[in-house]
Amino acid sequence: MDSIAANLRYIEADRLTTAAGDLNRASVVGQTADTLGTLAGALVDPGRRSICYLVVESRHWLKKHRYLLPLGVTRFDPVKQALLVDSANTDLREVTEDERLVPFSDDDLMTAVFSTRAA
């Protein structure tokens, strides 16, 4: 993915929950048990009603970096308060400063509700 697709919308992690618990600031742990960062949010496609990418935040020195992690097999471990993903650090793509994560809006909600294509 060279740039963030125009149809994708960003939802902050504090708006994301599962039956197993709240996902806000959950650690994201890769297949080698390395912590990739913390969950900042997700990129969704409202028309398809699907999550496409997790947005992982990592701090290096005094700078915050955001990465897109393609959503694959993921599960939430409520004991560790972590998202366990079947992925490695090489699967991450950094969101550059000139790329904007477009927030999920009321219009996007209407698109998702009335979409004829279910996820």
Residue spans per domain, the chain: 10-114
**67-93: pLDDT as tens digits:** 898 877 688 888 888 888 886 666 678
Q: Which fold has domain 10-114?
A: SH3 type barrels. (2.30.30)
**28-75: pLDDT as tens digits:** 888 777 888 899 999 999 988 888 898 999 887 778 889 898 877 688
Q: Give the three-state DSSP class for 94.
A: strand
Distance CA 76, CA 103 (A): 24
CA-wise closest residue to 41 among 68, 75, 13: 13
Measure the CA angle with vertex 23, ends 106 and 46; round to 5°. Answer: 30
